[in-house]
Structures are given as C-alpha cells and as structure tokens.
Amino acid sequence: MNNHEIQTIIEMDADLSHDPNELSEKLNFFRTNNCDLLVSSRYLNDSRIINWSIQRKIFSLLSNKLARFLLKVPVTDYTNGYRIYSKQAIKHITKKCGRIGGEFIILSEILVELYYNNFKILETSTIFKNRVRGESSVNLKEIINSLFGLIKIFKLKKKLENS
C-alpha cells in the first residue's frame, strides 16, 4: 500500500460546532472498531448540545426520531455531520448517493445506503456547540425539502430491503 493513499475521510463543520479536540479519540475508536462510518451523535447519554434554544433541540430530536422510525438504521443522530468514513464507504457513497437531495437529507441517505449494504456503522458521543458565527441553514423551505427527501429515502430503504 502506498503510504500516501487515503484510507479515511473526516467530515465536520468548519464553524467549530464540532470540537476538533475530539478527533484523535474518534479516529482511534474508528480504527479500533474497524468501522466504515462513525457518527458523532448529539443524542447519546454522554453527549451534550450547548447554546441551542429549546425549540431547536426539540425540532432536531423529533426529526431524528422520525427518521429512525421510518428508516430503521440503528443510530440516534441522522443529521449530525461530524462523521468519519472508510475508503470503502466513500467509494460506495460516491457511486450511489446524492440523487435524493442536498443539505441535511443526504446524511440520512448515506446512512440508509451504507446500512442496507452491510457497512459497519457505529456512533460515539460528542459535545455539539451552537455556531458563534454564521447562520443556520434550517428554514421552512429546508424542512419541507427534508420531509419530501425522507419519503424518497423511505422508498429507497424498501427497495434495498427487497434486493
């Protein structure tokens, strides 16, 4: 193997909502457990969300519970973008994902595509801090697009289950 060949891809928000100080521990967990995808979940017992309004927390939690109910991927956080991917997972994602929609919905599409194709997905706790700069992309249009996207992913899940 070439020493410069990429084996792992890390995804995280650039606004420091995702703490880069957690990264070495997450990478170690990812490698030790031979994961294809490691999701940093805001909804595990040891996780925390800092400086979100109660409305935002409730909306996010309910959205994730709806996604889990419909899609049946055994994770608690479908929409957090602090993730680590294996090379094999990235190859699969680039061939199969991105046809349903962008923004948050692609994160759920990736979970379904990997889970129903037998990739190893685990999650770990995280501390998520609301952005200090910039604005959230969550708005009514994005919520409606995400609901339609979730229906499309549900149909994809049914297709993958039957194949």
Q: Where are the chain's structural domains?
A: 8-161
Select the highest-mean-pLDDT range: 10-14, 57-61, 103-107, 112-116. Answer: 112-116
Better-predicted residue by pLDDT, 125 or 146:
125
Pair 149, 67: CB distance under 8 Å: no
Residue 135 in this model has a pLDDT that exceeds 80: no
Amino acid identity for residue 123 in this structure? E
- Strand-pair partners of 124: 40
* C-alpha to C-alpha distance for 152 and 106, rounded to whole angstroms: 11
What pTM was computed for the model? 0.89
Q: What is the pLDDT of residue 78?
A: 95
